[in-house]
């Protein structure tokens, strides 16, 4: 499994958002970007994580940072999730997990003694030149935003 570290070039992506519109990493050139990967829309941990991002969007935008969330969910499910919680930022659909693979967020997980492949909840701070500034694998849902804000302060 590939893992990204500070200084690596962020793997490019072009994925459909919750409205069926393509969103590319290149669209955010010149701005910082918080990219977070989550396993499944409208589940408890993913809701905690996404609502935390929603609640801090003004703080993030105030320091010139955009946000995208990525999961294997189809755009329709992403849209329902966005509308239910008023998230208001791009939720990108990666159903074949090709982008998750490229970012090192698809891998073996286990629950109740059963192993399976899925999204490893992770977040990344990408700089204005599309380089990884910070990478957090296996991040707790409630730590996504605080870790990004702390990284920007140091």
Domains parsed from the chain with CATH numbers? 14-153 (3.40.30.10)
Residue 28 CA to residue 11 CA, distance in Å, equals: 13
Each residue's pLDDT tens digit, 16-30: 999 999 999 999 999
Using CA atoms of 125, 134, 146, 12 in order, give the dihedral in degrees to the nearest 10: 20
Catalytic-labelled residue, pool 25, 33, 41, 46: 46
Asked about 51 being catalytic, the answer comes back as no
- Residue 1: is its pLDDT beyond 70? no
Q: How many other CB atoms are found less than 10 A from the CB of residue 150?
A: 11
Computed over every residue of the chain, the mean pLDDT equals 94
CA angle 65, 101, 19 (to 5 degrees): 55
| pLDDT tens string 79-119 | 999 999 999 999 999 999 999 999 999 999 888 889 989 99
pLDDT at 13: 98
pLDDT category at 134 given cuts 50, 70, 90 is: very high
Average pLDDT of span 122-134: 96
User: Is residue 57's pLDDT more than 90?
Assistant: no
DSSP class per residue in 100-135: HHHHT-EEEEEETTEEEEEE--EEEEE-TTSBEEEE
Predicted local confidence at residue 58, as pLDDT: 85
Distance CA 22, CA 20 (A): 7
């Amino acid at each position: 499994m590939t893992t990204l570290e500070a200084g690596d070039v962020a793997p490019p992506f072009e994925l459909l958002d919750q409205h069926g519109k393509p969103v590319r990493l290149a669209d955010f050139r010149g701005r910082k970007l918080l990219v977070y990967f989550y396993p499944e829309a409208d589940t408890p941990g993913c809701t905690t994580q996404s609502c935390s991002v929603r609640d801090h969007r003004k703080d993030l935008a105030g320091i010139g940072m955009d946000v995208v969330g990525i999961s294997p969910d189809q755009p329709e499910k992403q849209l329902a999730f966005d509308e239910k919680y008023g998230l208001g930022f791009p939720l990108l659909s990666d159903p074949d997990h090709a982008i998750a693979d490229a970012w090192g967020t698809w891998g073996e997980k286990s629950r109740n003694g059963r192993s399976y492949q899925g999204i490893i909840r992770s977040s990344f701070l990408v700089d204005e030149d599309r380089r990884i500034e910070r990478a957090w694998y296996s991040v707790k849902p409630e730590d996504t935003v605080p870790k990004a804000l702390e990284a920007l302060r140091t």
